[in-house]
Structures are given as C-alpha cells and as structure tokens.
Amino acid sequence: MSVFQYDYLIVGAGLFGSVFAHEAVKAGKRVLVIDKRAHTGGNIHCENIAGINVHKYGAHIFHTSDRAVWDYVNQFVSFNRYVNSPIANYQGKLFNLPFNMNTFYQLWGVKTPAEAKAKIAEQRQDYRHLEPQNLEEQALYLGGRDLYETLIKGYTEKQWGRPATQIPAFIIKRLPFRFTFDNNYFDDLYQGIPIGGYNALTDALLEGIEVRTDINYFEHKAKLDKQARQVLYTGKIDEFFDCQLGKLEYRSLHFESEVLEQENYQGNAVVNYTDKAVPYTRILEHKHFEFGTQPHTVVTREYPHEYSKDNEPYYPMNDSHNNALIARYKALANTAPYKDKYIFGGRLADYKYYDMDDTVAASLQLVKTQLG
C-alpha cells in the first residue's frame, strides 16, 4: 500500500497545472493542487467587476492553429467570436495593428500594396547596409524610421525599461508586414475568448479535484512533499533552488483599473500607447472582449516596470546571460535527489514566454510522458 496520500502534488493552479491535474485524475491518480494566490487560474484569472469579466493580469486572447489543442479546450468551454485587432495611439493619432494596408495608409497615405512596398523600401534605404547589433538597428533595418519612431520605439522601451539601443536585436526577429486590409493580429486558424470568461475554463478543469489556495509551498514544503509521490512545480525555478546559482531576470507589470459610468470608453478592447511620454503601454476595455452591453465599463491601464520579490514575474529576459543561467538550473533539476521527486513545467519553471495554447500543449505532452 502506498505510503503517500497523493500521487501528485501540483504547485500552481494556473493553466499548466490545471490541465495536468485534470488528466492525472482522469487517469485515476490522486492529486492535490495548491496555489499561493487566493484564486485558481494563475494569470488567466478573471475578476468580475460590476458584471464585467476583468482580465486581472492583463489581456489574454486564446489563439492557436493546433487543432488538437483547440478541440481539447472546447471540451470544457465554448468560445466567442472575438478577434484581436488592437489599435495604436501615437500622440493622439490612431493606427491599426499589426502593420497592414490600413496602417500604411494612416502613416503615409498609400492606397495600394505596390505603393506601400515602395514606401517601405524607400524607408529602409538608409539602413540596408546595417548588421543590426540592437533592437533599434534591427527595426530600422527591417522597416525604416517612420514605423520605428511611431509604433515600435516608445512602446518597446517602456516594455523593457531600457533604451532600444540596449535591447538585443533578436527581440524583433522580423516585422510582419501585411499587404492586405486585415486588422486581425493573429494568423492562427482559431481564436476567441471563453464564453463566461477564463474562470469557466479553469473551474471545469479542476472540477472535483482537491484544491487549496492561499498556500505558500515553501512555508510548508517539507510537510507537503511527504504527502505526495511526486511534485509538479510550476513556479519560478530559481526560487525553488533558493537562487543558489543566481537570480533569473524578469520584467513585471502593474495594473490600475477603474469603473467608468459610461457605455463605451475607447471602442476597442486593446489600445496600445506607443509614445514614450505616456507612462502606460496600453489601456484595456474589458467588456469588448465579450461584446458587453452594460451601461458602464471597466478600463485598465497597464504599466511595465522592473521585477522585484513584491510583484509578479511576467516576461523572462531571455538574453545570453539568463539563457545560460536557466540551462544550469535545468541541469541541476535533472540531478539526484531532484529528478525522481520533482517535475518542473510551465512558463516560470521553463523560463519561457508561453501563449496559452503553448501552455496547454506542453502540459499535455507532460501527461504523455508521465502517464503514457
């Protein structure tokens, strides 16, 4: 008879942990899920404010071209027809994103693909001999000065908290130019928001599973570990190892939300502010994610800043230093006594920026590895 109360202790009730928990229980495993936050769902958690599902940790739009992932999540929720078509505001002027014929018309007045291509070639002319060493040079090399100054420079410098000349060139590997009047940000086949919000998805995944929130794993680690045969850890991998090899670097965000007694504030779910003089990177108007008809609205301003222990890690700084460090942590995780007891997975444990479909796919792959 097993000496363990659970087959798996899952540290983190986000999407990765929730998918694994669901599949493990379906396979007959005994599972306990814990989370340090007061809620499940991780960063896709929604908070209902005045009858509107507010994306508490920033905008999340589910999109994928992976039919298996799309079919998987549709077992639990239905998705609406939301299409992500953000707007950029630069010094009061509005531009469509991603870069498409609407953007080029708004920027230069060009009306045909041939005119747009000629204008971009003209803009790139002065930079065609560059061997880009940083993000600024990469953006100028790919798109020229107008696009860079208007829609890239200020937003990116706010996002990463440093001048574009100090940001690695690989952050912008390419600039996706569309020579059609198509404002759909994603190219994926499937896209939408769960009807009823993301909580409906994680609640369905965790239905019938023992979940404890407001539990700090590290404060109770010895006791919790003894209860489970294996531990799936989805938190920061450097924190698990008490940062003994060094701290991984992140960028963080904070959000300021308010209820406005008006029906419609900006007419779009996402408006990016690309002027560096504006301190926030974007404003979200949450009702538009679900085509809300409430007589009021909720907006959120998103401010990027440096990560500290008092806020959430959102974006990994995947430069050469941090990539070398995460490789060392992964090697450590694969040594005794860790490799038989602990499993590491999810965006924080892998130190990667995952879209939601990537998260689901990675969790399902772990299910295959662990459960066959």
CB 107 within 8 A of CB 144: no
Residue 124 annotated as catalytic: no
- Catalytic residue, chosen from 82, 282, 347, 358, is 282
Query: Which distant-in-sequence residues (6+ apart) come within 8 Å of 101 by Cβ?
Result: 113, 116, 178, 179, 180, 181, 182
Strands in the chain per DSSP E: 6-11, 31-34, 46-49, 52-55, 62-64, 87-90, 93-96, 190-192, 210-212, 228-233, 250-260, 270-273, 282-285, 297-306, 315-316, 342-344
* Residue among 92, 88, 110 at smallest CA distance from 101: 110
* DSSP secondary structure letter of residue 262: S
- Catalytic residue, chosen from 30, 37, 178, 347, is 178
CB 237 within 8 A of CB 333: yes
- Catalytic residue, chosen from 124, 229, 251, 328, is 251
How far, in Å, CA of 188 to CA of 354, rounded? Answer: 15
- Catalytic residue, chosen from 302, 350, 357, 358, is 302
Residue 347 annotated as catalytic: no
SS3 content of the chain, % helix, strand, coil (to 5): 35, 20, 40
How far, in Å, CA of 245 to CA of 4, rounded? Answer: 31
Helix axes 101-108, 113-124, angle to 10 degrees: 60
Q: What is the DSSP string of 343-370?
A: EE-SHHHHT----HHHHHHHHHHHHHHH
- Catalytic residue, chosen from 131, 174, 242, 340, is 174
Residue 353 annotated as catalytic: yes
* Residue positions annotated with a catalytic role: 174, 178, 251, 282, 302, 353, 355
